[in-house]
Amino acid sequence: MKYRTLAISFLFFLFPFGELSASEPTFNSQSKVQENKYLNTVAFSFNKKKAAEEYLDQAQQIIGDYSSILRENKKERREVVRLVKKSLKLKETARAYLYLGHINLTAFNSNGYKEGVKNYEKAIKLNPEYSEAYVSLGSLHRNNKNYEGIISNYKKAIALNSENDFLYAAIGEAKTNIGDHEGAIVALKKAMKVNPNEAIIYIHSGQSKQVLGDYQGSISDYSKAIKLKPEDGYSYYLRAIAYLNKKDSSNGCKNFEDASKYGFNTSKEIEKYCRSLG
């Protein structure tokens, strides 16, 4: 309407008032037709978008906790695919490809992995700031032990929606698996800052420090894990090994005993390292 007003104002300077009055109905009629066409196009596009989103809303209700439900129920999987394809016929959206990726995420086979990557990447192409798509793609790579894929996509998700302890911890775990223990410690330290109450984060950090020869640092991390989960025998076992690395057999053997007390069998280690201490 702003541009129409400017056009009409300009015409007053070109024509005498009488000539303008005679021609005005024709001008207004043509303008009205164009305006109606535009409004109809906008309305049609809006309705298609709304219908496409409605199909995805229905799919979302089925997906729920997709990792458990869709993997076990083929009928539900097929229905989600049907709804998403209906949505895509109306409008191509990042959300639709995200849901198709979720279907593939639960397949746990090479073809599902390949298709999942393709669908998540389509979602990201349509919406490069779609943090959920990066998280999902990283999780798909995690299921398939593609550590570089985990690191790359989780980092992008953090850049869009930072301060997630799970993402930092998963990056740390992936870095450990590719032998980047220094990088793992950095990522795990960030995870601790966001969530200082998750024992497994300290365990992973302790393991990387132990590989790098920082035995006191690893003992400190294992001790924090034990404080959070005092009945986890595995943490005592790891701390025992770290003490032995420091030539501290007394504390090492005590931790082997505690590990056995909490269900982690260390009878062989006690026989090998601790009998002589009697």
On whether residue 275 sits in a domain, the answer given is yes
In a domain, 1, yes or no: no
pLDDT tens digits for range 264-278: 999 999 999 998 765
Structural domain includes residue 31: no
Average pLDDT of the chain?
82
The alpha carbon torsion through 64, 68, 70, 72 (nearest 10 deg) reads -150
Which range of residues forms the domain containing residue 76? 45-141
Lowest-pLDDT range of 26-40, 55-69, 164-178, 179-193: 26-40
* CATH number of residue 172's parent domain: 1.25.40.10
Q: Could you write out the DSSP letters of every residue in 143-195?
A: HTT-HHHHHHHHHHHHHHS---HHHHHHHHHHHHHTT-HHHHHHHHHHHHHH-
Query: Are 54 and 131 contained in the same domain?
Result: yes
Q: Note whether 114 and 200 are same-domain residues.
A: no
The verdict on 62 and 126 lying in the same domain is yes
pLDDT band with cut points at 50, 70 and 90 for residue 184: very high
Confirm whether 40 is domain-assigned. no
Based on the fold, state whether residues 196 and 129 are members of the same structural domain.
no
66 within domain boundaries: yes
Number of domains in the chain: 3
Q: Is the pLDDT of residue 17 over 70?
A: no
**Hey, how many other C-beta atoms are within 10 angstroms of the C-beta on 170?**
22
Report the pLDDT averaged over residues 132-149.
94
> Do 220 and 237 reside in the same domain of the chain?
no
- HSE-CB at 92 with a 13 A cutoff on CA atoms is 7
Q: Could you tell me what percent of the chain has a pLDDT over 70? A: 76
Place 8 in a pLDDT band, splitting at 50, 70 and 90. very low
Indicate if 51 and 115 belong to the same structural domain.
Answer: yes
Binned at pLDDT 50, 70 and 90, residue 27 comes out as very low
The answer to whether residues 190 and 236 belong to one domain is: no
Query: 88-92, 104-108, 147-151: which has the minimum mean pLDDT?
Result: 104-108
CA distances from 272 to 237, 239, 243, 256 (A): 14, 17, 15, 11
- Tell me the average pLDDT across 9-13: 30
More confident of the two residues 107 and 131: 131
Q: Does residue 246 fall inside a structural domain? A: yes
Distance in angstroms (rounded) separating the CA atoms of residues 9 and 14: 10
User: How far, CA to CA in Å, does 204 sit from each of 170, 176, 236?
Assistant: 10, 8, 14
207 contacts: CB under 8 Å, gap ≥ 6: 176, 218, 238
Q: Which residue has the higher pLDDT, 260 or 21?
A: 260
Contact present, 175 and 184 (Cβ < 8 Å): yes
212 and 174 within one domain: yes
- Fill in the DSSP letter of residue 277: G
Domain assignment of residue 153, yes or no: no
155 or 63, which is more confident: 155
